[in-house]
Amino acid sequence: MHDTTAMLIELGAIILALGLLGRLAGRVGFSPIPLYLLAGLAFGQGGILPLRASEDFVATGAEIGVILLLLLLGLEYSASELVTTLKTQYPSGAVDLVLNALPGAAMALLLGWGPVAAVALAGVTWISSSGVIAKVLGDLRRLGNRETPVVLGVLVLEDLAMAVYLPILTALLAGVSLAGGALTLLISLGTVGAVLYVALRHGRLVSRAVSSDSAEMLLLAVLGLTLLVAGLAQQLQVSAAVGAFLVGIALSGEVAEGASSLLTPLRDLFAAVFFVFFGLHTDPADIPPVLVPALALAAVTTLTKIATGYWAARRAGISPRGRWRAGGTLVARGEFSIVIAGLAVGAEPRVGPLATAYVLILVVVGPLAARWTEPLARRLDRRTATAPAADTLKSAAPAGG
């Protein structure tokens, strides 16, 4: 009875604190993710007031948070949209991978953390935050801009690439042999291919099977299916997150819209619990030693993300101003960087503090970069344009005044 009472008190305090922090972030006008991470740091190991009784419940909630994040992401895309994006924007995805994954891998190797940590940190620096970026696009009223489809295309490619990346990372973290890792990857690719085929050819049948006029029945069917597939995917070492993402892709039409509206509040709650859980398992004392590498990595990958967006937008025929806007919009990192770090910390605990510091920096810098990259580039262009004119005037002036 005492343990149950303590758990309820701790959970109530956590959820109330999350609500107040989210409200504060909304008033200030930026993502609540850094505040959730800071709350986890404050109440985790080495924090101000460590929580004990509710740890198991929070851990389970964090797992559900990751699953719901990926499910809702999958519901935003149809299988045909994914295939079209793959056909038209795969060069942008390749540039994105090279420019943004390599700095993370290089930093891990420079710190002497080994190849497994390098693969994990590469994912942390590679994947932009779809949630933060979607909010920024809405806040800045850029959803109708010409460069926005380019930005969304890059995000779709990143999200789809996770279906391949996460099983590889999971196999490496588990210490699976080369043959076992190759088998896991083949299973993952086969699963992704099968789900895309079913979604393209028989998506209506899948949606009809879980469809219901009752919101309660629809919620139970979609959530139950997602947890079941996520569990089976985890059993096959494919990753529960990938399983949830594929379920989202398979559902379409009114079912996807209804499930999205019903599950969004649940996703927000459990995603917040996930960020807190990640912070709980990061000792604040471990962050200062990695602050300089995190700042360096944030500076480098801010520039590489801007370059990625600029290149992708130029390839799509967008004007220079739109290219800079696209680049600045892609800077933010958030939920998926923490998801990857959360998978890695069990086998590579050193990744956690660096990922936390890195995300805290870029989840704040990202919205600022989206807002100011294009005006700053315009000012630099004006200065560059006026400098030659000034030199010409000087050379044309008569000697001796």
Q: How confident is the model at residue 137 (pLDDT cuts 50, 70, 90)?
A: confident
- Return the residue matching tokens 């807002």: 371
The total of other beta-carbon atoms located within 10 Å of residue 149's CB is 16
Tell me how far apart the alpha carbons of residues 281 and 43 are, in angstroms, rounded to a whole number.
9
Tokens representing 376?
């700053």
List C-alpha distances in Å: 129 to 132, 223, 311: 5, 24, 19
Q: Is the pLDDT of residue 340 over 80?
A: yes
For residues 268-303, one letter each, b for 16 or more C-beta atoms within 10 angstroms of the residue's C-beta and e for the rest, the string is bbbbbbbbbbbbbbbebebbeebeebbeebbebbbe
Max Cα distance, the chain (Å): 95
Domain spans, the chain: 58-382
pLDDT digits (tens, 9 = 90+) for 206-232: 788 888 888 888 889 999 988 988 888
Helix (H) or strand (E) holding 223: helix 215-235
Segment 319-323 mean pLDDT? 90
User: What's the pLDDT at 278?
Assistant: 74
Mean pLDDT of the chain, nearest integer: 81
Q: Among 63-67, 162-166, 343-347, 383-387, whose mean pLDDT is lowest?
A: 383-387
Tokens representing 257?
């819209």
Q: Is the pLDDT of residue 393 over 70?
A: no
Tell me how far apart the alpha carbons of residues 3 and 390 are, in angstroms, rounded to a whole number.
76
Q: Is the pLDDT of residue 180 over 60?
A: yes
Tokens representing 4?
């149950």
User: What's the pLDDT at 350?
Assistant: 85
Tell me how far apart the alpha carbons of residues 190 and 213 are, in angstroms, rounded to a whole number.
33
Higher pLDDT, 367 or 313: 313
Give the end-to-end CA distance of the chain in Å, rounded to a whole number: 93
Segment 340-351 mean pLDDT? 83
Q: Is the pLDDT of residue 126 over 60?
A: yes
pLDDT digits (tens, 9 = 90+) for 267-319: 888 878 877 877 777 778 888 999 999 999 999 999 999 999 999 999 989 99
Q: Is the pLDDT of residue 398 over 60?
A: no
SS3 346: coil
List C-alpha distances in Å: 348 to 74, 113, 175, 298, 340: 28, 8, 12, 20, 11
Segment 47-69 mean pLDDT? 74
Helix (H) or strand (E) holding 170: helix 148-173
Q: Is the pLDDT of residue 31 over 80?
A: no
Percent of the chain with pLDDT over 70: 88
Q: Is 104 exposed, middle or buried (0-12, 13-18, 19+ CB in 10 A)?
A: buried
Segment 231-256 mean pLDDT? 78
Q: Which of 41-50, 117-126, 155-164, 228-237 has the highest mean pLDDT?
A: 117-126
Q: Which of 114-128, 133-147, 271-285 has the highest mean pLDDT?
A: 114-128
CATH fold of the domain at 58-382: Na+/H+ antiporter like fold (1.20.1530)
